[in-house]
Structures are given as C-alpha cells and as structure tokens.
Amino acid sequence: MLLLPPMAQAETNLTSVQQGLLEQLNSAARLLLDQQLHEQGWQIEASSINAWLPGGTAHLPACRQTVQLTRSNPAAPAWGKQSYMLQCPDKPGWQTRGEVQVTLTLPVWVAAHAMDRGHALEAADLRPRVVDVSRLRRSFTPLNQSLIGFRTQRRVSEGEMLTQSRLGQPLAVHKGTPVTIYAREEGFSATAQGEAEADGSIGEVISVRNLASGKRIKAEVTAQNEVETRF
C-alpha cells in the first residue's frame, strides 16, 4: 500500500503545533484505513492521505496534553473526505477542526459484456477494473466478494459496475428440481419431498408440488433446495 505524506506538510511556514496536528491527523487516518482494509481483506492498488488545517491554527498554543481527535462521522468508511474535531484538554484549552482526504484505488467487478434482465451471473460475465472508490457515490463489489449466481434486475451494459444491492439474490431453488418441504407449527413439524414449480431465492414464496399427495402448495425458500410452509 502506498501512503503519501499530507500535502500540507510540504509547506515551510507551518508552526510546530500545526506540524504536530497534521501528523496526528495523518496517523489517525492511516490507522483507520489499515484497520478497515484488514477487516475487509481487500486487494488494493494504491492509497494516499492528505491532511488539511484551517489557517487560524497557526496561532494555537502548544497543548501540554495529548490532543484528542474525534471523527465527525464515525460510521463513514475510512476513504474519501474525512472531517475531524481536534481538542486540547488543557485548562484553558482550544478546539479546532481538520480534514483528511483519503484516496483509495482497488479492483472491483464490472460487467464483461451486456446482459439482459434476469441473467444469472457466471465467471465469464465478470471482469475486474481498477477504480478510485473514494470518488464513488454508490457501493461497489471488490474482487474478494463473489457475484456468481446473482441475477441482473435490469439490462446491464458492458463495463457497468456491478453491486449486490442492484442484483437479485442467487437462486436457491430451480424450477423442476427436487426440494425438501418443511412444515412447521408450534409443537409440530414434518418433512416431505416435493418439486419446485418455479425458480426462487431465499425469502421468496414459490409454488411447490408435494410428490406424495400431488398437491400444489405455496412455500417460502429457506435454503438451498429447501422450502417451508405452515399449516
């Protein structure tokens, strides 16, 4: 991973307080980014961190205690524009703000060719592309997340970025294949063998034929080749 020093640190007229604050911002952003990248297990291409402080910080006195950094939006990802509140706990102390721009590029999945609505994705349908995800306004799918089996919910163009939020869940049951029917009621349960009369993803309700009785029932897809109905 390539981590560049903050641009502001290249200036020669910074006070020692500003230098220290920029180093803290840079270290905090780097630590947060490393933690999230480790948790996600992403294969990244490059990253850069650039910190900024308002001009008024040139007049801040040195803080005798450790300056406290608080991220304005703790739930936000560690890339993109980050806002921090910096506070000196001295009495009297001071408070100011700072910003960090974290750039992150990594390979994500895009469509290898145009696909119609309802197409179940296969390996040949996917192609990696390196993008700057810190500039994206929507989600993305890194290479360590599989999209095999997910269904297109609309027509997809070649090169279009693919995300799970814009795809239908993979099929767990296929039309014409055997399924196990679970029937449950409080204090009672039973199983039977059936045949799916429609494709279905987990959570969808489909028509299933009970092979023993020949009856057609509505059942919810609960797992691979498994459905559940209630008395």
pLDDT for the residue 51: 95
Residue 201 sits in a domain of what CATH number? 2.30.30.760
Residue 112 sits in a domain of what CATH number? 3.90.1210.10
Q: Which among 133, 150, 168 is the end of a domain?
A: 168
Q: What three-state secondary structure class fits 17?
A: helix
> Do 162 and 142 contact (CB within 8 A), yes or no?
no
Q: Are residues 138 and 175 in the same domain?
A: no
Asked if the structure places residue 132 within a domain, the reply is: yes
pLDDT for the residue 54: 94
Which tens digits make up the pLDDT trace of 138-164?
889 999 999 998 999 999 999 999 988
The domain of 156 spans 107-168
Which tens digits make up the pLDDT trace of 189-230?
889 999 999 988 888 999 999 999 999 999 999 999 999 997
155: Cα separation from own chain's centroid: 23
Q: Which among 81, 105, 129 is the end of a domain?
A: 105
Asked if the structure places residue 2 within a domain, the reply is: no
Q: Which regions in the chain score pLDDT beneath 50?
A: 1-10
From CA 143, how far away is CA 145, in angstroms rounded? 5
124: Cα separation from own chain's centroid: 23
pLDDT for the residue 171: 86
Q: Are residues 69 and 59 in the same domain?
A: yes
pLDDT for the residue 5: 39
Q: Which among 78, 105, 132 is the end of a domain?
A: 105
Asked if the structure places residue 1 within a domain, the reply is: no
From CA 159, how far away is CA 225, in angstroms rounded? 33
The number of distinct structural domains making up the chain is: 3
Question: Which residue reads 């109905």 in tokens?
Answer: 229
